[in-house]
Amino acid sequence: MAAEDADATLSGLGEFAVIDRLVAGRRQPSFVTLGPGDDAAVVAAADGRTVVCTDMLIENRHFRLDWSSPHDVGRKAIAQNAADIEAMGGRSTAFVVGFGAPGDTASARAIELADGMWHEANLLGAGIVGGDTVQAPQWVISVAALGDLGGRDPVRRSGAQPGDVVAVAGELGRSQAGYTLWERGIRHFGELRMRHLVPQPPYGQGALAARAGATAMTDVSDGLLADLEHIATSSGVHIDITRHALRPDVDALAAAAAEADADPLQWVLGGGEDHALVATFAGTVPPGWRVLGTVVSGPARVTVDGDTWHGDTGWQSF
């Protein structure tokens, strides 16, 4: 942005000038055949199907601008949608973004938000192909993601069978740990604090799991137990995981938990927004995945070492 524009606001520039600045200089991937500039974009669907998901972030509900930079918020908005595409066994190809903010928002902050979105999209080889802007009383970001299954069937939550193993790709409990550190004003453990602001989904592992024959899969957005409950209920199975298998995550969080007077196992079992992937497999799990437990016959439920977990199991939207 030019020096004379440094103090420009969204209302001062106007909608179309803002959009022009948000899309200027961006390079789209080859499968985006028509990007921003018309009433809609055109994105190629290689195998004739498109995976679609959407998610919203509301200021002071899903992020705080006194904790997060706009760049952080942009990365998070893309990452949490990309994780849903991964959980179906696909790869993200394009994103459409709706952005609402007060009219006196500095346009430089909107551009920083877009930069964060493009940073995360570039990690995936995806593009941001369109969207909308509107005046709102607080920041609201709505993202729709498009994805490609690469000719494979989608991996749903409903395919787990007794005898399958349960495995995870990615790390657990980091976002909840970071949130607690921010909330309690604990200024060290910077990496964990950042993991709350910007999740790190294990990009590419969803498609790898699909190729390896995953029978069911989801991302850990609400909490490990809450999201495994979705698989258990959809599949009509009992899932049992072990504390021992979670030891690497618990150990990684132990020092921060001691500082915050918290239980690291609770962070691991009930903390959301890590956007790790959890799946069930009938055979050997692929590289990058570690076994957490097993699928057994019985009423649909999730247990830890055979017992019901009596702590928090995950995030509730309402």
- Within 8 A by CB and 6+ apart from 202, the residues are 86, 169, 170, 276, 277, 288
Q: Which CATH superfamily is domain 164-308 in?
A: PurM-like C-terminal domain (3.90.650.10)
> Hey, what CATH topology would domain 10-148 get?
60s Ribosomal Protein L30; Chain: A; (3.30.1330)
**Would you state the structure tokens that stand for residue 90, as one six-digit string?**
């696909």
pLDDT of residue 5: 64
Look at residues 78, 175, 171 and name the one whose alpha carbon lies nearest to residue 131: 78
Banded pLDDT at 32 (limits 50, 70, 90): confident
Express each pLDDT in 106-145 by its tens digit: 989 999 999 999 999 999 999 999 999 999 999 999 999 9
Give pLDDT tens digits for 100-117. 999 999 989 999 999 999
Q: Is 183 annotated as a binding residue?
A: no
| Residue 150, annotated as binding a ligand | no
User: Residue 51: what pLDDT?
Assistant: 96
Q: Is 20 annotated as a binding residue?
A: no
Question: What stretch(es) of the chain map to CATH 3.90.650.10?
Answer: 164-308
**Is there a binding annotation on residue 309?**
no
251 is in an annotated binding site: no
Q: Where in the chain is the domain with CATH 3.30.1330.10?
A: 10-148
Measured on CA atoms in the order 260, 266, 270, 276, is the torsion positive or negative?
Answer: positive
pLDDT for the residue 39: 82
CA angle 122, 124, 126 (to 5 degrees): 70
**DSSP SS3 for 167:** strand
66 annotated as a binding-site residue: no
**Mean pLDDT, rounded, for 278-298:** 97
Least confident of 28-32, 166-170, 205-209: 28-32
Using an 8 Å Cβ cutoff, are 268 and 244 in contact?
Answer: no
Average pLDDT score over the chain:
93
The reply, when asked if residue 221 is annotated as ligand binding, is yes
273 annotated binding-site participant: yes
| DSSP structure string for 91-104 | EEEEEEEEEEE-TT
Helix (H, G, I), strand (E, B) or coil at 54: strand
Q: Rg for the chain (alpha carbons), in Å? A: 20
